[in-house]
Amino acid sequence: MNLKKSFLIFGLPLSALALAVIAFMIINPGIGLDESIVLEPITEGCTVVMVGKDASADRSVITTHTADCGVCDWTWRHVPAADHEPGSTRKIYHISQIKTWPPDVGNKWDMSKQDYTGVEIPQVSHTYAYHHGVFGYMNEYQLAIAESTIGCRRKMENATPSGVFDITTLTLIAMERSKTAREAIKTMGSLAEKYGYGFHDSGEMLAVADPDEVWIFEIMPVGPLWTPKSGKPGTVWCAQRIPDDHVSVCPNESRIGEIDLKNPDYFLASSNVISYAVENGYYDPECGKPFNWKKAYSPTEASAASSRGTRARLWRFFDLVAPSRNFSPETPNMEFPFSVKPDKKLSLHDVIDITRDKYQGTLFDPAEGLRGGPFSNPNYHPRPVTVEDKTYNTPRTISVNRAEYTTVTQSRDWLPDPIGGIVWLAFGAQDTSCYMPLYAGITAIPESFSIGDHWVFNRESARWAFDYVDFHTLVAYSHALKDVKKAQAEWETSAIERVPSIDITAKELYEQNPKLAAEYLTDYCMNNAEKVIDAWWKLGDHLLVKYNHLSIYDTENRKRSNLPYPESWFKEVIKYHKLEPQEQAKK
Q: What is the pLDDT of residues 437-466, one digit of tens each?
A: 999 999 999 999 999 999 999 999 999 999
Contact 217, 205 (CB under 8 A): yes
CA distances from 471 to 3, 42, 477, 540, 541 (A): 21, 18, 10, 8, 11
- One-character DSSP codes across 262-291: T-TTTEEE-TTTTHHHHHTTS--TTSSS--
With 50 as the cut, is the pLDDT of residue 16 above it?
no
What is the distance of C-alpha 523 from the center of its chain?
A: 27
Query: Is residue 341 very low, low, confident or very high in pLDDT (cuts 50, 70, 90)?
Result: very high
Which of 270, 188, 184, 198 is CA-nearest to residue 227?
198
3-state secondary structure at position 348: helix
Cα-atom radius of gyration of the chain, to the nearest Å? Answer: 25
- Record the pTM: 0.91
Contact 41, 99 (CB under 8 A): no
Coarse DSSP helix, strand, coil percentages of the chain, rounded to the nearest 5 percent = 35, 20, 45
pLDDT confidence of residue 50 = 98
Query: Is residue 547 very low, low, confident or very high in pLDDT (cuts 50, 70, 90)?
Result: very high
Contact 447, 101 (CB under 8 A): no
Mean pLDDT score across all residues of the chain? 91
With 80 as the cut, is the pLDDT of residue 436 above it?
yes
Contact 543, 485 (CB under 8 A): no
Find all residues with CB under 8 Å of 396, minimum gap 6, and list them.
45, 309, 310, 311, 312, 313, 382, 383
- How many other β-carbons are positioned within 10 Å of the β-carbon of residue 4? 7
**pLDDT tens string 564-579:** 998 888 888 899 899 8
**pLDDT tens string 503-536:** 999 999 999 999 999 999 999 999 999 999 999 9
Alpha-carbon span 180 to 40, nearest angstrom: 41
Contact 155, 220 (CB under 8 A): no
For CA atoms 312, 318, 322, 328, the dihedral sign is negative
Alpha-carbon span 261 to 238, nearest angstrom: 10
Contact 434, 426 (CB under 8 A): yes
Query: Is residue 369 very low, low, confident or very high in pLDDT (cuts 50, 70, 90)?
Result: confident
